[in-house]
Structure 1
Amino acid sequence: MKKAQLLKQKTMTGLAAMATSAALLVAPLTTASVAEAATFGPLSINANYTGTDSADIKGTNGDLSTQTFTFDASYGFATFIYSNTQYDFSGVGEDPFDSLEKVAVDLHHNGYITSNLAYGVGLTLGALYEEDFDVGDSYNVSPRVTFGWTFSNGMTAFFGGYANFNGADNVYLPIIGLKLGDEKDLGWIGSLAYPATMVQYRFNSLLAVGASFMTVRDTYHLDDDVSVKGNWADGYLREESYGVGVHATLTPLQHLKLTAGIFSYFDREFKVYDNGGDEIDSFETDNSYGAFVRGGFVF
């Protein structure tokens, strides 16, 4: 393959990864893996488990731990995502909620404007909810756009924007950063960016190690059980946090990738909104620590 063609291919991979990362903010610390898996072949299937230890809820005698199960499948320009997070409260009386779910489809397209200037566009259509799947209340619509410029050394500078429209309070985030290399390249590669950063060192085709930074912004619609939730009933819960982690990835077979790592959530806050979108309550937790494992197939 000619050098110019190779640079184009890697630029498109980088834009696809970053654009998809913005759409998959609900998959902390593994988003880069999701996006890259989607570029390997026509069909990829991945499963992920993430668990955190107990973190104290500030200002109370209670604590909170979580477990998240995520499944995603990509084919062509589309990615399907499902996740379920179990919340285990202790010392706070009756749990205000115990399980939150997400179902989403992400549509994405990338192209070139000139030989160096690339673009990526995408749209995520999702529903985030407790138990009652009501699209009118639990909708999450997230458009984004990125532009990237590839230099002669193969580095790509990119910028763009991401928005999330939901029933509580819309979210707007910039997408900006630098990317060098491809996930399968030997040695150091990375994407130093916001809202997602990833650096990796690949020893050989079997083993790679890396570190990640991730931004989390999830808005869920809560059930209308007034007896349990009080004025939280039929409202919205937003989780805002950041995460950092380290991981190791094994590729024992051409079509199989396994990843495991440890991480920490920090600056973690939960905001509660009423059905009209007004913030009515909030609570924060101390830093929490956890681990994740992920397996994926590409066909």
Structure 2
Amino acid sequence: MRWEAARVNLRNIDLNLLVILDALLTERNVSRAGERIGLSQSAMSAALARLRDIFSDPLLVRVGRDLALTRNAEDLIVSLKESLSKIEQTLTRRPGFNPATDARTFSISASDYAGLVLLTPLVKMIVNEAPNVTVHLLPRARDAARVLQTNQADIVIEPVELFGPNDYPTAALLSDRWLCAVDANHPDVTGNELSERQFLELPHLVYGIGNDRQLNLADQHLADTGVQRRIEVTVESFLLNPFLIEGTRLVSLILERAAKRLLGTVNIKLLESPIAVPDIHEAMYWHPRHTTDPGHKWLRDRLLSVAQELS
């Protein structure tokens, strides 16, 4: 490998190639990478040839009709994004951040539950306070730590029970509890209580996460403790649960804060779960590279303010 040689000869290398390389590694497509940074396909192809020469590696290889990254290219992704982020912060660093005038762009990755409960009021707050700030709301990622490491999101909102042990800076936002949701006119649940027998005999709708249908925390707890149920429907969108339940015999575990936000639009009722399940605890996580950034700190403070108002 000639990585060391590339480092030594850095003065002879156009550093714009790093921006091009980042786009190529992200898009894995020469045309899309060119569109992303405003270069023609021929210019991108020429730059790719130079990058291949610098790293003595093809970087992207043809696999059928697609391009795939080489192992060396995969190893470059994280360090390259971190380097470009540091350069950008150095060039744009200000002594402070004024939300009324400063222009910034932030990305937040969160589930649709966190989007409804936390990000909806956050967006309203930002629109009123920071007219030049753009916020990209990204769907929840299965590998939240990698999203932070590769700088795909400035903040990840995730239950601490799912994120698990880590070294990322974090701040607690809110907790929530699970309730049972059924149709308001359910033929088998006529009162305001659901017995354990009814809960186990009714057909269930379960919220699954991702393409592999990873169970949510409540349903995973029931599965781990050996509770046997008849699952008839699974859905990836938490917010669809009440609408799918309406007019059926289905029962589903749903988080109270989100469910109460939807009660005015769907004809369901909420009941205490006859089987205890642990609460969830939402937190925000960020990469330590952002901890002292005034703009990032302002965004974190806004999220904490929203959470405190909800609590």
Query: Shorter chain as normaliser: what TM range?
Result: under 0.3
TM-score (norm 1): 0.24
Name the structure where strand makes up a greater proportion of residues: 1
Which structure carries more relative contact order (alpha carbon 8 Å, separation 6+)?
Answer: 2
Name the structure where helix makes up a greater proportion of residues: 2
